[in-house]
Structure 1
Amino acid sequence: MFEWLSDGITHLKRHRITSSEKAILENKFIYYQRLNQNHKKEFVTKLELVITRKAFVPRGALSEVTTEMKILIGATIVMVTFGWNDLRLPHFKKILIYPSTYYSTISKQYHRGEVNPRHGIIVLSWSCFLNGIADQKDGVNLGIHEVAHALKLENQIYYNDESEFFNPEIYRSFQLLATEEIHKIKTGNLTVFRSNAGIDDDEFFAVALETFFEKPHEFFEYNPELYGTLVRLMRQDPRVWVNV
């Protein structure tokens, strides 16, 4: 029997994660590997819903979207949103995947990824995405970065059922602490964050989440107040999953 889900307009056949797809998680997604069995079941359930409700679209020279692409990109969305029971980023219905960096006719530059809130699209370079998950301790992860942008935007979108999921008081605390860190970066002080975190508050949030998930112990040692605020904002603590 198939289970059908409604997105309010159409009925979707729910994707069921197979044993071979679970093997991709076990072999290539460290966050999933370190979850206990109950959390793994929860993760898989959420991943099924993400894959069911998102359209994964090949772009450029990419001829098709593989199962591995769907699993690993979907898993990144689940990881970032794991602290919430029912958060699926519904505004962002399409994920466009290029084989490598791609040229934007709008910005006249090559990009590794971007988020387009007007069209509800997340765009990723697959080679850059893979580089991000290959080294999960360097604080550079394209998937986390772009999903973080989408998460921040989704919180501000008021015409769907998933807006304002950030606790307002905690988010204000984060913004105040983030402003201090951005100032440090812009004035040349050494921080745990890479330099482009100082561009603006959007970039800081994205880089902060990369650091949060990939270098949680170093982040905590650098600024325990900011780290603790992100733990409360994101409703999870990656130090539980990541070994020193």
Structure 2
Amino acid sequence: MKKFFSSVYGAIIVVSLYVAFWYWYLKSVVMALFPIVLISSFYGIDFVIKSIARNPTFIHYHFFPKKLPLQQRKIILENFSFYKRLHPKFQTSFDHRVVCFLNKYKLIEREGFQLSEERKIMIAACYVQLTFGMYSYLIDSFRNILIYPDFYYSPITGKHHYGEYNPKMKIVVLSWNKFYEGIQFESSNYNLGIHEFSHAILGSFKHKRKNRQSIAENDFNLGCRKILVLWSDSGKRNLIIDSDYFRTYAFTNLGEFTSVVLEHFFETPEDFKAKFPDLFVIVKKMINYREDWFQY
């Protein structure tokens, strides 16, 4: 019952009954229609705010954008085709976000791994690529990023991993070799950075009430719910499994499926769009991805 009255149809019924009651009680059409005007105004303002928050010009405008040194920009240009294809004004915004990312999150070396400036830039750029369509992109679901040289034993899970996200400790953990491999082979459909950072974004809205989520978190949440509908449909899920497009690990649970889907979205977008157009559109909207960011 609660779910029904939270829906559009439920809201229409409630408003209709409310209007009918006040018309009967006050015998005034103006007073009876007042709640409709008020509600319409609220939803109109809400629509405008959300439209602005998703608009690329608004999202990527900075009064005083932070700049990267030329050498650091060169690192991104050489390793991220996403960045290379961006219009110059969006490259400026990308640079700004990379600086802000490195200022907010602490990158910690593990097992003697040496974290050079180049490696820090690449980790930041991977996160910025995933969240580039989001206005509120610096999330609080993680604070630290642990970087191991390779396959590592996690004392948290008691298992060996290439990467993980721990919401309780607010950490993202990466194996550098596997992370770098995902960056170098852009069409492999395996990108450890996108995979683990997408888990962190999932964790960002899971512990927040809807009215406390940012618009970006809300869009991501809505996309996940739409993916859940596909996931829950055994016929559609079997079609996806039988396609052999997504690796078997994707079907471990909904969270893993969402993360793997995002990897494919960035790695082989044309194949993804051709094979699963409906799912492609869902992902595109959930991260507010725009073709007009790019020069080609």
Shorter-chain TM-score tier: 0.7 to 0.9
Alignment partner of 1:49 out of 88, 100, 108: 100
RMSD between superposed Cα atoms in Å: 2.6
Alignment partner of 1:201 out of 254, 259, 274: 254
Report the secondary structure of 1:166's partner residue. Answer: helix
Question: Aligned-pair distance for 1:156?
Answer: 1.8
2:266 pairs with 1:216: no
Alignment partner of 2:150 out of 92, 100, 119: 100
1:39 and 1:65 map into 2 onto residues whose CA distance is: 27
- For the Cα contact (< 8 Å) 1:32–1:40, is it kept in 2? yes
- For the Cα contact (< 8 Å) 2:227–2:258, is it kept in 1? no
Tell me which residue corresponds to 2:80.
29
1:107 and 1:185 map into 2 onto residues whose CA distance is: 33
* Cα distance change of structure 1 residues 15 and 52 upon mapping to structure 2, 3 Å threshold: farther
2:115 pairs with 1:61: no
Report the secondary structure of 2:173's partner residue. Answer: strand
| Higher share of residues assigned helix | 2
2:207 pairs with 1:157: yes
Alignment partner of 1:177 out of 227, 230, 240: 230
Greater shift, 234-243 or 198-207, is seen at 234-243
Amino acid at match of 1:87: Y
Amino acid at match of 2:151: T
| TM-score, normalised by the number of residues in structure 2 | 0.70
1:21 and 1:105 map into 2 onto residues whose CA distance is: 34
1:240 and 1:48 map into 2 onto residues whose CA distance is: 20
* Cα distance change of structure 1 residues 34 and 119 upon mapping to structure 2, 3 Å threshold: same
Question: Aligned-pair distance for 1:107?
Answer: 3.5
Report the secondary structure of 1:175's partner residue. Answer: helix
Tell me which residue corresponds to 2:62.
none
2:131 pairs with 1:131: no
Tell me which residue corresponds to 2:198.
148
2:167 and 2:157 map into 1 onto residues whose CA distance is: 16
Report the secondary structure of 1:82's partner residue. Answer: coil
Amino acid at match of 1:90: D
The higher radius of gyration belongs to 2
| TM-score, normalised by the number of residues in structure 1 | 0.84
Question: Aligned-pair distance for 1:170?
Answer: 4.3
Greater shift, 41-50 or 107-116, is seen at 107-116
Question: Aligned-pair distance for 1:15?
Answer: 7.4
2:288 pairs with 1:235: yes
2:244 and 2:293 map into 1 onto residues whose CA distance is: 23
Identity of aligned residues (%): 29
* CA offset digits 1:81-128 (Å, max 9, x no partner): 111122112231101100111012344432100001111100000011
* Cα distance change of structure 1 residues 156 and 52 upon mapping to structure 2, 3 Å threshold: same
Report the secondary structure of 1:155's partner residue. Answer: helix
Unaligned runs of 5+ in 1: 1-13
* Cα distance change of structure 1 residues 208 and 107 upon mapping to structure 2, 3 Å threshold: same
- For the Cα contact (< 8 Å) 2:87–2:295, is it kept in 1? no
2:90 pairs with 1:39: yes
1:118 and 1:162 map into 2 onto residues whose CA distance is: 19
Question: Aligned-pair distance for 1:23?
Answer: 0.9
Alignment partner of 2:132 out of 64, 82, 86: 82
Greater shift, 28-37 or 150-159, is seen at 150-159
* CA offset digits 1:167-206 (Å, max 9, x no partner): 35544223212334883279x5124211111110010011
Question: Aligned-pair distance for 1:27?
Answer: 1.0
Tell me which residue corresponds to 2:55.
none
Question: Aligned-pair distance for 1:241?
Answer: 5.6
- For the Cα contact (< 8 Å) 1:98–1:125, is it kept in 2? yes
Amino acid at match of 1:57: I
* CA offset digits 1:131-167 (Å, max 9, x no partner): 10111011101011101111111122329x7556233
